[in-house]
Amino acid sequence: MSQLVEVLADCVALAQVDKRLSVEERMLLEGIGACLDAHREGMFITDFIAKIEAEVAAEDAALEKQRARAAAKAKRSNKRRQRGIPARKSSRRSTAPTRRAA
């Protein structure tokens, strides 16, 4: 059985390099390779699926948090604009003329 897993893993690794494959096919092969790696480590498929689902949920939560921050920032910016308050100037740009080395 372990020889079969090794052969499958090698086939998946070789197939992932094939430039003729679509993005979906490569992603599918990547998933199969990850399953084979988990099997080699002694992990059951149900545990592997639960692990992947937890990672996806964490990524989704991080993206949602990032979206909420961006929405709050846009809301503050819109309020400032409505009140006629100009946007903050960048501290990196100076209004003074630059000096050139002689």
The rounded percent of the chain whose pLDDT value lies above 70 is 81
Q: What is the reported pTM?
A: 0.49
Mean pLDDT on 41-59: 87
Looking at the structure, do residues 36 and 59 belong to the same domain, yes or no? no
pLDDT of residue 33: 82
Looking at the structure, do residues 39 and 53 belong to the same domain, yes or no? no
Is 90 exceeded by the pLDDT of residue 63?
Answer: yes
Looking at the structure, do residues 72 and 38 belong to the same domain, yes or no? no
* 94 lies in some domain: no
pLDDT of residue 98: 61
pLDDT of residue 88: 67
Looking at the structure, do residues 34 and 54 belong to the same domain, yes or no? no
- Summarised one tens digit per residue, pLDDT across range 12-32 is 777 777 778 788 888 888 888
- Please enumerate, as own/partner, the contacts of 73-76 that have beta carbons within 8 Å and a separation of 24 or more: none
* 63 lies in some domain: yes
Looking at the structure, do residues 38 and 51 belong to the same domain, yes or no? no
42 in the Ramachandran plot: left (φ > 0), alpha (ψ -120 to 50) or beta?
Answer: left
Looking at the structure, do residues 55 and 20 belong to the same domain, yes or no? no
Task: Give the domain extent around 39.
Answer: 1-43
40 or 101, which is more confident: 40
Looking at the structure, do residues 17 and 52 belong to the same domain, yes or no? no
